[in-house]
């Protein structure tokens, strides 16, 4: 159970820290942290929890990562469902806390693209742009695939594992810097689900993409690293 609790708390921290930065601090006039600050917040959540509980559960905090590590030969299929359940529950608990805090100021809103840090496509978002479903799918697919390549490479037994958390946290920061304007950045189905449950409506109807694209990308990334990049014992 320690592994599942570690995934619960790690995913809770990711959503509370990343989505919390987006809903509380991103748009504050003059002192707001903006896009770059939110991207950094997501990276810092993974970096800090990788060192806090990564040695207990492996530090997935993301159903797509669990699938990718399975495809990469680093994770058992029998653990997939318990890990994903723990991650979704942790993310939803964090979203519930964010919702409660926002309601304390009467500030919760379900209106507009990205409300409550939800993910979206085919809705006018940042800079007045609306990205198609295909564009959103490709972005989420590619970014999750590369995220898994970074994770598998940084945690490889041939790599310097002491710095793995830093590489992974910075990779997630970069991913958000690229894709917040496109989809508000998912690459994590648990994070997408937790926010959509409270916003409902279009956020829920579009949620399928933020499960399918990240998981498909993670599986491809896992396979690429395992069969094309991973150093074998005999080499």
Q: What is the spatial distance between Cα 86 and Cα 88, in angstroms, rounded to a whole number?
A: 6
Domain ranges of the chain: 1-106+116-229
Domain 1-106+116-229 has CATH 1.10.275.10: no
Q: What is the spatial distance between Cα 224 and Cα 72, in angstroms, rounded to a whole number?
A: 8
Structural tokens at position 125: 């978002």
CB of 176 closer than 8 Å to CB of 38: yes
Residue 235 is predicted with a pLDDT of: 58
Residue 233 is predicted with a pLDDT of: 73
Computed from CA positions of residues 44, 57, 67, 19, in that sequence, does the dihedral angle turn out positive or negative?
A: negative
Residue 54 is predicted with a pLDDT of: 96
Residue 231 is predicted with a pLDDT of: 86
CB-side neighbour CA atoms (13 Å) of 170: 7
Residue 33 is predicted with a pLDDT of: 96
Residue reference for tokens 């601090």: 25
Q: What is the spatial distance between Cα 74 and Cα 96, in angstroms, rounded to a whole number?
A: 32
Listed residue (233, 171, 232, 217) closest to 68, CA to CA: 217
- Which tens digits make up the pLDDT trace of 78-93? 999 999 999 999 999 9
- Which tens digits make up the pLDDT trace of 99-130? 999 999 999 999 999 999 999 999 999 989 99
- Which tens digits make up the pLDDT trace of 9-29? 999 999 999 999 999 999 898
Residue 2 is predicted with a pLDDT of: 97
Average pLDDT taken over every residue of the chain: 96
Residues 118, 105, 96, CA angle at the centre, nearest 5°?
A: 45
Structural tokens at position 163: 């710095």
Residue 234 is predicted with a pLDDT of: 56
Residue 147 is predicted with a pLDDT of: 98
Note if the pTM is more than 0.75.
Answer: yes
Residue 178 is predicted with a pLDDT of: 98
CB of 176 closer than 8 Å to CB of 185: yes
Residues of the chain with pLDDT under 70: 234-235
């Amino acid at each position: 159970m320690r592994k599942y609790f570690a995934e619960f708390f790690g995913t809770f921290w990711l959503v509370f820290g990343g989505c919390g930065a987006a809903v509380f601090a991103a748009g504050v006039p003059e002192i707001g942290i903006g896009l770059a600050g939110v991207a950094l917040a997501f990276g810092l959540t993974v970096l800090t929890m990788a060192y806090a509980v990564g040695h207990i559960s492996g530090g997935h905090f993301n159903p797509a990562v669990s699938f990718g590590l399975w495809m990469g030969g680093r994770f058992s299929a029998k653990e997939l469902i318990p890990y994903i359940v723990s991650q979704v529950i942790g993310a939803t608990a964090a979203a519930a806390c964010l919702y409660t805090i926002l309601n304390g100021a009467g500030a919760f809103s379900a209106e507009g693209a990205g409300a409550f840090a939800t993910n979206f496509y085919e809705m006018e978002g940042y800079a007045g742009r609306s990205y198609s479903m295909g564009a959103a799918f490709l972005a989420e697919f590619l970014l999750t695939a590369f995220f898994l390549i970074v994770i598998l490479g940084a945690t490889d037994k041939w790599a310097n594992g002491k710095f793995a958390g830093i590489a992974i946290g910075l990779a997630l920061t970069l991913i958000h810097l690229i894709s917040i304007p496109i989809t508000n950045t998912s690459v994590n189905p648990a994070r997408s689900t937790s926010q959509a449950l409270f916003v409902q409506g279009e956020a829920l109807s579009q949620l399928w993409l933020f499960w399918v694209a990240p998981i498909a990308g993670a599986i491809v990334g896992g396979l690429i690293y395992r069969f094309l990049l991973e150093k074998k014992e005999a080499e």
